[in-house]
Amino acid sequence: MKGVVLDLASVDNDDLNLGQLEDVLDDWEFYPHTEGSQLANRLQGAEVVVSNKVMLSREVLTAADKLRLICVAATGTNNVDLDAARELGMTVTNVRAYGTASVVQHVFALILSLQRQIPAYQQAVRQGRWQQSDFFCLLDFPIEELTGKVLGIVGYGELGQAVAKTAACFDMQVRVAQRDADDTRSNRIPLNELLAEADVLSLHCPLTEENRGMIGEAQLRLMKPSAILINAARGGLVNEAALARALHDGWIAAAGVDVLELEPPDGSSPLLADIPNLILTPHIAWASRTARQRLLNQVVDIIRDYRTGTIHNRVV
C-alpha cells in the first residue's frame, strides 16, 4: 500500500517524530512541498494521500485512479473537492482538537501583550527610555487588567469554548455571539450588541461565504475605542483595510491578528504596514511542537484504522 505526503514541511520543521507514520504503511513518499504541476506524477499509484494545504481538485482526484483515502492534516477541508471525492468513492478525513491548547495560549498571549503594552515597553527599553527615567519604573503607556473585562466570542465550538474557559481564570465576563438571527439560545446575544459591549473580541468561527468580511467598517465603528480585536481564526473574516483604518484612526485600541486573507501574503495587505497598535503573527497559533506532533499522531491513527476497515474523523 503506497502513501504520499504532499507538504510535510508545512507541519514538520525537522522537530517531529515521524517513526509511527513511516511504520503505518509499507511504502511512503514524503515531499516537503508540492506544486500543482507535480500532483499527477506524485499521486500515481498512491492509495493514501496526506495533505495539509495542497489543493486536490476534481481533475486531480479523477486522475488519481488508485486513491482511496485522503487525510487532510488540518481541521478545515476546503483544499479538497469533497463532492468529487464522494462521487469517486474516496474517503476524506481530517484531524480535530489537536491544537486547542496551542491556539488558546496564543490568543491570550496576544491579549495580554496588548493589554500590558509589552511591545511598546520592550521598544522603549531598547531605545534607552527606561535608563533615562527619573523614577524606578516607566509608565509611558497605559496598562490594563483583564479582571472584570468583557470577552466577546464569535464562534463557540471547540476553540471558542476553550478560550471562554481560560477567560474565567482571569475573572473575565464572557459573552457569546448568536450564530444567526434564528439562534434564540438564552446564552447568546446579537453580534452588534456584542460588538458594543466587548472589551476584547475574539473570533473563532470557520470562514464561509456567508460570514466573509463579517467584521468591516460598520462593525468596527460599533466597538469601544478601548477595545481590542483578536483574530486567530481565518483572515477572510475581517476586512483588512477597515481594520487598518480602525487602528490608525482610533476606532478601536489595538488588534492581535494571526491570519490574513491571502497566505502567504504578497505584500498588498494594509496590515503588513508598520502599525504600532497591531501585533501580527504568521499563522502560528496552532503550531506548537506538541500540537503538530498530536496532529501527526492522529493521521497515523486514521491510516492504521483504515487498514483494518474502520474510519474515524470521516468528512466524506
Q: What separation, in Å, do the N-terminal and C-terminal C-alpha atoms of the chain show?
A: 21
Peptide bond into 142 cis (omega under 30): no
* Amino acid (1-letter code) at residue 149: K
Would 60 be classed as within a structural domain? Answer: yes
Would 68 be classed as within a structural domain? Answer: yes
Give the number of other CB atoms < 10 A from CB of residue 18: 16
Do 163 and 256 fall into the same domain? yes
Contacts of 284 by beta carbon, 8 Å cutoff, 6+ apart: 106, 258
Judge whether 110 and 255 are in contact, CB under 8 Å. Answer: no
Do 111 and 255 fall into the same domain? yes
Give residue-wise pLDDT tens across range 277-309: 999 999 999 999 999 999 999 999 999 999 999
Do 79 and 119 fall into the same domain? no
Is 234 a known active-site residue? yes
Judge whether 119 and 279 are in contact, CB under 8 Å. Answer: yes
Would 312 be classed as within a structural domain? Answer: no
Do 74 and 182 fall into the same domain? no
Give the 3-state DSSP-derived string for 47-77, with helices as H, strands as E and coil as C: CEEEECCCCECHHHHHHCCCCCEEEECCCCC
Beta strand ranges found along 192-301 (DSSP E):
200-203, 228-231, 254-257, 278-280
Do 67 and 153 fall into the same domain? no
- Could you give the 3-state DSSP secondary structure of residue 293? helix
Assess whether pLDDT exceeds 90 at residue 182. Answer: no
Give residue-wise pLDDT tens across range 129-179: 999 999 999 999 999 999 999 999 999 999 999 999 999 999 999 999 998
CATH number at residue 135: 3.40.50.720
Would 129 be classed as within a structural domain? Answer: yes
**What H or E segment, with its residue span, contains residue 30?**
strand 27-30
- Could you give the 3-state DSSP secondary structure of residue 79? coil
Catalytic residue among 106, 234, 240, 292: 234
Structural domain span for residue 93 = 2-98+289-307
State the average pLDDT for the chain.
Answer: 96
Is 35 a known active-site residue? no
Do 92 and 193 fall into the same domain? no
Would 314 be classed as within a structural domain? Answer: no
Catalytic residue among 263, 289, 312, 314: 263
Q: Distance from CA of residue 93 to its chain's centroid?
A: 19
Do 57 and 105 fall into the same domain? no
Give residue-wise pLDDT tens across range 38-64: 999 999 999 999 999 999 999 999 999
Q: Which three cell numbers stand for residue 290?
A: 506538541
Do 51 and 118 fall into the same domain? no
As a whole-number percent, the residues of the chain with pLDDT over 70 amount to: 100
Contacts of 89 by beta carbon, 8 Å cutoff, 6+ apart: 68
Would 316 be classed as within a structural domain? Answer: no
> How many residues appear in the chain?
316
The total of structural domains in the chain comes to: 2
Judge whether 47 and 2 are in contact, CB under 8 Å. Answer: yes
Catalytic residue among 283, 294, 304, 307: 283
Would 204 be classed as within a structural domain? Answer: yes
Give residue-wise pLDDT tens across range 183-201: 778 789 999 999 999 999 9
Contacts of 135 by beta carbon, 8 Å cutoff, 6+ apart: none
Do 295 and 253 fall into the same domain? no
Do 297 and 196 fall into the same domain? no
Is 106 a known active-site residue? no
Sign of CA dihedral 50, 55, 104, 167: negative
Do 32 and 113 fall into the same domain? no
Do 112 and 244 fall into the same domain? yes
Would 315 be classed as within a structural domain? Answer: no
Q: How far is CA 284 from CA 96, 106, 233, 255, in A?
A: 17, 8, 11, 16
